[in-house]
């Protein structure tokens, strides 16, 4: 199995969503037809400000109307991933793995655990201790305290063990964007970024490289 990790840089959400869906559908069709999937993908991107709602999200977790968001230059998309509402913006590293979980002997729970593990290991490279929170996917800091804050959101879709969507890790993200929503549907939890935690901005390409290395290691794919 060949794993391609592709850096798309700053790309419009709509364009990346279309690219994901095309590859995802091709891979699902392969599975339906009993054909071998030889190539998987992980796209690493940044987006201009955009809000996305998962399939079970509550509209009330978006705190402004679509018209008000449009006036601010922010698009809103209702998409097929799990999870509630999240915000994407420049300085945030979004990873979209399009994988065949069956080839890696994974179910969806194990896959989400693997995504979290890749982020946890990446954060450790910056001296940040990330944590899991029971009943809430993603990666957190200060779990179980009144300073509990989310640094990475996860929301995925799978069909026939093929995945799309993925994770959003706040690197240099302007966290004011999260004031537009109740992040992931929570009213009582904060958000943070690597830059905020270590007190300085950093090269997002370095984070991409570290995260990509973790993905390859955890998936056992070196190509």
Active-site positions?
Answer: 184
3-state DSSP call for residue 105? Answer: coil
194 phi/psi in degrees, rounded to 5: -60, -45
- Work out whether the CA dihedral 216, 118, 123, 207 comes out positive or negative: positive
Contact 163, 157 (CB under 8 A): yes
For residue 114, give every residue at least 6 positions away whose Cβ sits within 8 Å of its Cβ, in sequence order, or none. 106, 218, 219
Residues comprising the chain, all counted = 223
């Amino acid at each position: 199995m060949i794993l391609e990790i592709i850096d798309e840089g700053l790309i419009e959400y709509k364009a990346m969503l279309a690219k994901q869906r095309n590859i995802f559908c091709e891979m699902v069709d392969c599975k339906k037809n009993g054909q071998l999937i030889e190539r998987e993908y992980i796209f690493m991107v940044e987006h201009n400000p955009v809000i996305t709602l998962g399939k079970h999200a509550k509209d009330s977790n978006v705190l402004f109307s679509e018209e008000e968001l449009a006036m601010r230059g922010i698009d809103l998309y209702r998409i097929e991933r799990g999870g509630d509402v999240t915000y994407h913006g420049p300085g945030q590293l979004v990873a979209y793995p399009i994988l065949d979980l069956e080839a890696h002997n994974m179910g969806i729970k194990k896959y989400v655990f693997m995504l979290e593990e890749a982020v946890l290991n990446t954060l450790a490279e910056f001296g940040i201790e990330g944590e899991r929170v029971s009943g809430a996917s993603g990666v957190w800091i200060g779990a179980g305290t009144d300073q509990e804050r989310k640094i990475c959101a996860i929301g995925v879709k799978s069909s026939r063990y093929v995945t799309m969507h993925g994770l959003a890790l706040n690197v240099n993200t302007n966290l004011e964007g999260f004031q537009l929503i109740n992040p992931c549907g929570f009213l009582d939890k904060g958000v943070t970024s690597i830059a905020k935690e270590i007190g300085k901005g950093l090269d997002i390409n370095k984070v991409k490289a570290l995260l990509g290395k973790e993905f390859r290691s955890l998936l056992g794919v070196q190509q």
